[in-house]
């Protein structure tokens, strides 16, 4: 068997400016990957590089020829373990580029069996979740308006970005608009440990499900300090990137945030889930601002995790890929009528 591979970079505007504690963006760069077999079946994936993890679209483009050379050299898309191992040996960093190839391979393999990816894995499509919809940092009244729009679109779970001197005002405002919504709050490393403990004490009255990454990932002792004193569950995001990080954060959090773009691929993602379970941790499956070309694959992990934050494609002004149906934010794997991940990339 021979495989033909290609990739292309596109800039994707966001529907609204998207703010977190580290800054605000108005567009995201994606690098799309295609892998085609002799029979004309094509798997698609996409990289959503993050500067937080030392990646850009340019670095992804730079390493993809080497990664795709590995794929072509092995020649058999079913050799997923071997290909991902060789990709790690070839390019140790750039996890989003490796994730794009991993997603495209899994998409292709499931298409070769003519089944959706969840069925290839033997998972129950009924055992799925509702994704949160993220309210990015902005002026408080703008965040109120975004919340009202999210509720009008049917979302019942909201993720609220924090990391300002008006965090409590923001959460109070959003809770007033959405009294029945399930809330996640995410500080993106913005607080000091003592500040985090103080703010969490005040946040309790607004009943968030958890607080994500309250302190810097470079301060593991600070994360432990907060976790030991927090009245709310703590989720580790920037502090937990790969499988090796799971045991390191196990006594410092209650939940790990798994992202394909951090860990480098679907096989590694499933290992992280297993390791988290072994440590007694819950799992949140998250994302960057991404196209359905990669979000669709993460949706197939929904039966294995406790929380989903897979709204990355919903934040785009226009996604060049279709994916898994999400009526009212519910990840509807059973409603997927296509094999593979369900991603369909336009031909532009």
At residue 5, φ and ψ (nearest 5 deg) are -125, 155
Q: For residues 266 and 285, give the distance between their C-alpha atoms in angstroms, rounded to a whole number.
A: 12
Residue of 159, 161, 199, 262 marked active site: 161
Residues 6+ apart with CB under 8 A from 23: none
Residue of 111, 199, 259, 262 marked active site: 259
Do residues 92 and 241 touch, judged by C-beta distance below 8 A? no
Is residue 138 flagged as an active site residue?
no
Q: For residues 67 and 91, give the distance between their C-alpha atoms in angstroms, rounded to a whole number.
A: 7
Tell which residue, 134, 96, 103, 188, has the closest CA to residue 309: 134
Is residue 212 flagged as an active site residue?
yes
Band of the pLDDT at 1, cuts 50, 70, 90? confident
Q: Is the pTM of this model over 0.85?
A: yes
Residue of 36, 189, 212, 290 marked active site: 212
Could you tell me the residue ranges of all domains in the chain? 4-115, 119-345
Do residues 261 and 48 touch, judged by C-beta distance below 8 A? yes
Indicate the CATH number for domain 119-345.
3.20.20.120
Residue of 237, 238, 309, 319 marked active site: 237
Mean pLDDT computed over 188-198: 98
Structure confidence by residue, pLDDT tens digits, 254-309? 999 999 999 999 999 999 999 999 999 999 999 999 999 999 999 999 999 999 99
Is residue 306 flagged as an active site residue?
no
pLDDT of 184 reads: 98
Residue of 36, 55, 130, 186 marked active site: 186
Mean pLDDT computed over 142-151: 97
Is residue 186 flagged as an active site residue?
yes
Task: Give percent above pLDDT 90 in the chain.
Answer: 95
Structure confidence by residue, pLDDT tens digits, 203-214? 999 999 999 999
Is residue 328 flagged as an active site residue?
no
Do the domains 119-345 and 4-115 match in fold? no
pLDDT of 348 reads: 60
pLDDT of 21 reads: 84
Element spanning 5, H or E: strand 4-20
Structure confidence by residue, pLDDT tens digits, 331-342? 999 999 999 999
Band of the pLDDT at 32, cuts 50, 70, 90? very high
pLDDT of 16 reads: 86
Indicate the CATH number for domain 4-115.
3.30.390.10
Tokens of 145: 């308006």
């Amino acid at each position: 068997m021979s495989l033909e591979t290609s990739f292309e970079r596109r800039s994707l505007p966001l529907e609204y400016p998207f703010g977190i504690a580290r800054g605000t963006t108005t567009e995201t760069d994606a690098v799309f990957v295609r892998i085609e077999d002799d029979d004309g079946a094509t798997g698609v994936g996409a990289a959503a590089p993050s500067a937080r993890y030392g990646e850009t679209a340019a670095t992804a483009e730079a390493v993809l020829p080497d990664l795709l050379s590995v794929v072509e050299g092995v020649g058999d898309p079913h050799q997923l373990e071997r290909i991902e191992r060789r990709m790690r040996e070839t390019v140790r960093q750039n996890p989003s580029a490796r994730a794009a190839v991993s997603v495209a391979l899994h998409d292709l393999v499931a298409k070769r069996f003519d089944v959706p990816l969840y069925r290839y894995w033997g998972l129950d499509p009924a055992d799925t979740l509702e994704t949160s919809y993220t309210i990015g940092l902005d002026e408080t009244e703008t965040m109120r308006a975004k919340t009202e729009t999210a509720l009008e679109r049917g979302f019942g779970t909201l993720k609220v970005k924090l990391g300002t001197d008006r965090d409590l005002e923001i959460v109070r405002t959003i809770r007033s608009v959405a009294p029945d919504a399930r809330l996640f709050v995410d500080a993106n490393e913005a607080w000091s440990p003592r500040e985090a403990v103080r703010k969490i004490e005040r946040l309790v009255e607004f009943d968030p499900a958890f607080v994500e990454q309250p302190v810097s990932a470079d301060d593991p002792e600070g994360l432990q300090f907060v976790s030991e004193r927090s009245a709310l569950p703590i989720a580790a995001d920037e502090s937990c990137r790969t499988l090796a990080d799971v045991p390191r954060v196990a006594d410092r959090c209650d939940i790990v945030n798994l992202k394909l773009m951090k860990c480098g691929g679907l096989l590694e993602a499933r290992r992280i889930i297993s390791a988290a379970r072994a440590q007694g941790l819950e799992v949140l499956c998250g994302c960057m601002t991404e196209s359905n070309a990669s979000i669709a694959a993460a949706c197939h992990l929904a039966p294995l995790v406790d929380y989903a934050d897979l709204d990355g494609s919903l934040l785009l002004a226009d996604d060049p890929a279709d994916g898994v149906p999400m009526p009212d934010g519910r990840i509807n794997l059973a409603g997927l009528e296509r094999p593979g991940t369900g991603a369909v990339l336009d031909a532009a």
